[in-house]
């Protein structure tokens, strides 16, 4: 398919922007199927619409560097950007705030456009005489597009006037494409499960650790959890917040004692941080129901799904999501179904400790099912799980992105 697009990708520049990641971890082609992108270098094509691919591991760190991150790009490419022959296309895979929309809605915060990540990035391009109008932000969160529309068109409390945002903001569900065309094919939904529920935990974030701590009190071999130590990776402030929040869970055991029991693993031969997708598949398939913890939960309006959400969908397993408030509502925005009526999804109206309490309550309720009732529960979930898998396989998520880029 000739879509009149040419994406210029420079692997050497990408190595500088993602220094701690393997060079093949997020190659450009992971996010697209129809758009042909080389994973080494693509030349300018005067017969097509040209974009220059820029994906950063940490955009905040990048814009705060003393040296402008554009300095190492080929001067000929920069010159073509200045003359609007090439447009910079910035990739935001993770839930990164562009406009600090959550701060905007705080009465105690004086909103300054210049403090936002969006403005700092635009300033970097302005230093090279590249127009804001020519920049394209390709973001995995649909909420960022909604924020953009509100900031530019509506009167919002505490915002004195609409913000003239001139760059193009496009939502592209990158993880959906990544799983649909590359990762999901390694997942086998037909592996026989060994127990009812699994709550996996790569515990670098507080909400993940709190969920594992809360579920650890349930003494039932039909529920399995995995958990890494938290204090090894968190700073003192985060640990203090964690301890304070843990008191709200009304647990019999202290979080300090739970920490001593970590790491908790299903199998000593299987690492808690898995990178082999076929091992991932066999690991997660051990459960009838999966309880993933997404990247972020609270104090962040930038909701998006990642591989944590897509794993149960591609394995065609029901799920209970430890994620943002209204996360399930976001999934339904992609024409996916959730398990409301079969699973009590009241928890999706909350975040933080309250969400974790409701998840624990629902897990306890489901664990009370006898085998016959549990088998009926799994059967009731099967149609929804199958529908979600087929919907992703049959939906062209990329076409809308291509149309907007063209």
The pLDDT value given to residue 227: 82
Helix (H) or strand (E) holding 223: strand 223-225
Is the CB of residue 169 less than 8 Å from the CB of residue 330?
no
How many CA atoms does the CB half-sphere of 30 hold within 13 Å? 16
Residues 281 and 331 in one domain: yes
Read off the pLDDT of each residue in 133-140 and give the average, rounded to a whole number.
95
Residues paired with residue 322 on neighbouring β-strands, in sequence order: 293
Last residue of a domain, one of 172, 191, 215: 172
Last residue of a domain, one of 172, 207, 223: 172
Per the structure, the complete domain to which residue 215 belongs is given by 182-394
Residues 157 and 193 in one domain: no
Residues 237 and 354 in one domain: yes
Helix (H) or strand (E) holding 197: strand 195-199
Residues 190 and 159 in one domain: no
Highest-scoring range by mean pLDDT, 114-118, 224-228, 278-282, 336-340: 336-340
Residues paired with residue 51 on neighbouring β-strands, in sequence order: 7, 87
Helix axis angle, 307-314 to 277-284, nearest 10° = 70
Give the pLDDT confidence of 68-105 residue by residue, as tens digits.
Answer: 999 999 999 999 999 999 999 999 988 888 887 766 66
Task: Give Cα 36 distance to the centre of its chain.
Answer: 24
Residues 63 and 206 in one domain: no
**Of 54, 39, 33, nearest to 173 (Cα)?**
33
Give the pLDDT confidence of 141-180 residue by residue, as tens digits.
Answer: 988 888 888 888 765 655 666 678 899 999 998 888 888 8
405 within some domain: no
The pLDDT value given to residue 275: 44
399 within some domain: no
How many CA atoms does the CB half-sphere of 233 hold within 13 Å? 10
Cα dihedral sign, 311-315-316-321: negative
pTM metric for this prediction: 0.87
* CATH number of 363's domain: 3.40.50
Residues 168 and 186 in one domain: no
400 within some domain: no
Provide the number of structural domains found in the chain.
2
Residues 75 and 188 in one domain: no
Helix (H) or strand (E) holding 380: helix 371-394
Residues 112, 115: Cα–Cα separation, whole Å: 6
Give the pLDDT confidence of 299-317 residue by residue, as tens digits.
Answer: 556 788 888 899 999 999 9
Residues 50, 87: Cα–Cα separation, whole Å: 6
Last residue of a domain, one of 149, 172, 195: 172
Residues paired with residue 108 on neighbouring β-strands, in sequence order: none
317 within some domain: yes
Residues 23 and 52 in one domain: yes
CA–CA–CA angle 58, 59, 65 (5° rounding): 95
């Amino acid at each position: 398919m000739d879509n009149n697009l040419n994406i210029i990708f420079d692997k050497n520049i990408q190595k500088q922007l993602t220094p701690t990641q393997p060079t093949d971890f997020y190659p450009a082609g992971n996010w697209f199927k129809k758009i042909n992108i080389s994973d080494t270098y693509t030349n300018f094509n005067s017969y097509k619409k040209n974009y220059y691919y820029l994906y950063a591991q940490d955009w905040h760190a990048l814009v705060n560097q003393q040296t402008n991150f554009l300095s190492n790009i080929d001067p000929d490419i920069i010159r073509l950007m200045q003359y609007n022959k090439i447009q910079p296309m910035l990739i935001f895979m993770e839930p990164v705030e562009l406009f600090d929309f959550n701060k905007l809605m705080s009465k105690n915060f004086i909103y300054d456009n210049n403090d936002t990540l969006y403005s700092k990035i635009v300033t970097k391009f302005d230093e090279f005489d590249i127009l804001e109008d020519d920049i394209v932000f390709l973001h995995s969160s649909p909420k960022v597009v909604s924020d953009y529309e509100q900031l530019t068109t509506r009167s919002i409390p505490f915002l004195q006037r609409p913000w003239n945002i001139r760059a193009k903001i496009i939502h592209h569900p990158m993880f959906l494409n990544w799983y649909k065309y590359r990762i999901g094919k390694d997942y086998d939904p037909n592996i026989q499960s060994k127990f009812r529920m699994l709550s996996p935990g790569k515990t670098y974030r507080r909400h993940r650790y709190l969920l594992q701590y809360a579920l650890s009190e349930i003494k039932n071999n039909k529920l399995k959890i995995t958990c890494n130590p938290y204090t090894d990776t968190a700073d003192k402030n985060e640990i203090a917040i964690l301890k304070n929040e843990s008191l709200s869970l009304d647990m019999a055991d202290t979080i300090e004692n739970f920490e001593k029991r970590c790491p908790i693993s299903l199998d000593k031969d299987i690492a808690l941080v898995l990178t082999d997708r076929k091992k991932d598949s066999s690991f997660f398939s051990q459960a009838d129901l999966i309880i993933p913890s997404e990247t972020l939960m609270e104090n962040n309006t930038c909701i998006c799904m990642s591989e944590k959400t897509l794993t149960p969908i591609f394995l065609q397993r029901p799920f209970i999501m430890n994620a943002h408030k209204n996360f399930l509502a976001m999934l339904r925005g992609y024409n996916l179904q959730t398990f409301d009526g079969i699973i009590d999804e009241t928890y999706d109206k909350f975040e933080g400790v309250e969400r974790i309490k409701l998840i624990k309550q629902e897990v306890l309720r489901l664990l009370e099912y006898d085998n016959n009732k549990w088998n009926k529960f799994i059967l009731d979930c099967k149609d929804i799980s199958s529908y979600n898998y087929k919907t992703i396989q049959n939906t062209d998520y990329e076409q809308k992105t291509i149309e907007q880029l063209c």
